[in-house]
Amino acid sequence: MQPTFQASAHQTPGPDEIDTHVYPVVPRPASPGALSRFKDKVAAAQHKAQLATRETIKTSSLPSSPSGGTLSWRKVAILLPLLLIVLFHAFSLGGAQFAGPQGWASLLGGPVSANNPDLLHTINKQLQANQKNQQHVSITPQQYIDTILHNMTIEQKIGQMMLVQFTGATYSSDISTMVSQYGVGAVLIFYANGNIIDKGQLKGLIQQMQSNSTIPMAVSIDQEGGYVDRLAQLDGMRPSAATIGASNDPAKAKAAGQQDAQDLLSYGINMNLAPVVDVDTLPYSEMHIDQRTFGTTPEQVTQMAGAYLDGLQAGGKVVGTLKHFPGLGRSATDPHFAIPQITASKSELEQVDWAPYRALIKQNKVQSIMVTHEILDAIDPTQPSTLSPKVIKNILRDEFGFKGVIMTDSLTMKGITNYVSQSQAAALAIAAGCDLLMGASSASQVASMIEGIKQALHDGTITQQHIDDSVRRILLMKYHMGLLALPKN
């Protein structure tokens, strides 16, 4: 049955949703043909994986003895567990890593842990020893990151690609498992999830998460001001982007960014999912109604968002995130509840919606971009932008030359889950070129996503290179944030 995709103002709020403001939504769901084609692609991928599994089972048989007969069941009973251990390690590490010394070392040394808490300490000690033996030789950031990457298991790499949520104000067993066992790379602090009670509680909670992480985490929040002000009860209300934009004073935008950076750092938050760079072109869009954009022209949005980024990132400890690519400024549909369909031509998108992204990337101000869930008729009428290589690789990477981290909007939004499961969406988003996957809100969901991604590696939907490239970008961003320090001699 074809699902219906009607917006509703009575759903549980998501990570980028206003908590207290109810607004009218004019649904504009994607065309049935586009949705059908997308679902067909997902079904085809699932069928391909099933066929591969059946073929493996069909072609497997008992091994033959040197004389040509089959081995006895007693010998098979001895050999089969050993074979299963080898296959488990090969699958855990990936073919390329298992074929080398690391794979056999892991096999001889015991099962691979999902997370190694001493990873960085061990690497740093080894690099320091190497530097002592080779005088005047220093390691570059890229070499350091490549060394970390080379020593990570596939589970650790996938963990770094997770941006998770959690419920409650304490370091519960659930978030502890996500941090300590699965080594998640980023976490979202969200008022609606009960994460924020008071200043001391929030600071202590973040310190506890970081102290238990193998690789320091990107701790993120939606701190836009106005209706999306997650710290209002702690630091007072901040003006909205629309209010700042109406001043036409870049100095005010920069000051707002500086103030946000100061407040965020006081709690240990190092990543802001802001500024919004959607261009306000539709008077009944969510962005317009909730005053979340800096202006109605790409020039105004570029100037004010750029000034805000200058203030936010001046100290080098907090990174901003442009959102919501490809742009929600002309959408009357909220992707929390249904998937927007954008009918604008590519020329219109380039001249208006994408102009702030292109300009700010060219100015080297952007380290992170959030992609939301939309169908662009002019670019890819068959897949949501979050899952579309035509949008992410062809536009953001190739045309705009963006080399930073690309994160998904929440993969729990109805704009995605009406079509595919969260784990399927995660694999398709990686294949499309996304690095950080937002959405998991429990340890069980993280485990499911990790297994789904490993299955996608196994059936060829994604490659080890996809994973390595993404983790390399994430680690490089963390280095620029001051979270990864080069080992000193």
Let me know whether 77 and 213 are in one domain.
no
Write the CATH number for 185. Answer: 3.20.20.300
Is 134 inside a domain boundary? Answer: no
CB distance 382 to 347 below 8 Å: no
**Whole-number Å distance between alpha carbons of 290 and 240:** 9
In-domain check, residue 2: no
Same domain for 195 and 79?
Answer: no
The span from the CA of 175 to the CA of 192, in Å, is: 16
pLDDT tens by residue, the chain, 489 residues: 333 333 333 333 444 443 333 223 333 445 555 555 555 555 555 555 555 544 443 444 434 444 444 445 555 555 665 566 555 545 444 444 444 333 433 333 333 345 677 788 788 877 776 666 665 567 899 999 999 999 999 999 999 999 999 999 999 999 999 999 999 999 999 999 999 999 999 999 999 999 999 999 999 999 999 999 999 999 999 999 999 999 999 999 999 999 999 999 999 999 999 999 999 998 877 777 788 999 999 999 999 999 999 999 999 999 999 999 999 989 877 888 889 999 999 999 999 999 999 999 999 999 999 999 999 999 999 999 999 999 999 999 999 999 999 999 999 998 899 889 999 999 999 999 999 999 999 999 999 999 999 999 999 999 999 999 999 999 999 999 999 998 876
Last residue of a domain, which of 87, 111, 135? 111
36 lies in some domain: no
Residues 236 and 347 in one domain: yes
The reply to whether 88 and 157 lie within a common domain is no
Q: What is the DSSP string of 95-153?
A: HHHHHSHHHHHHHHH-PPPS--TTHHHHHHHHHHHHHHHSTT----HHHHHHHHHHT--
Could you give the number of structural domains in the chain? 2
97, 150: one domain: no
Three-class SS of residue 235?
helix
Q: Are residues 79 and 188 in the same domain?
A: no
Is there a contact between 35 and 387 (Cβ–Cβ < 8 Å)?
A: no
Cα(279)–Cα(263) distance, integer angstroms: 27
Residues 99 and 217 in one domain: no
Do 291 and 390 lie in a common domain? yes
pTM score, two decimals?
A: 0.78
Q: Check whether residue 398 and residue 449 sit in a common domain.
A: yes
Domain containing 252 equals 144-480
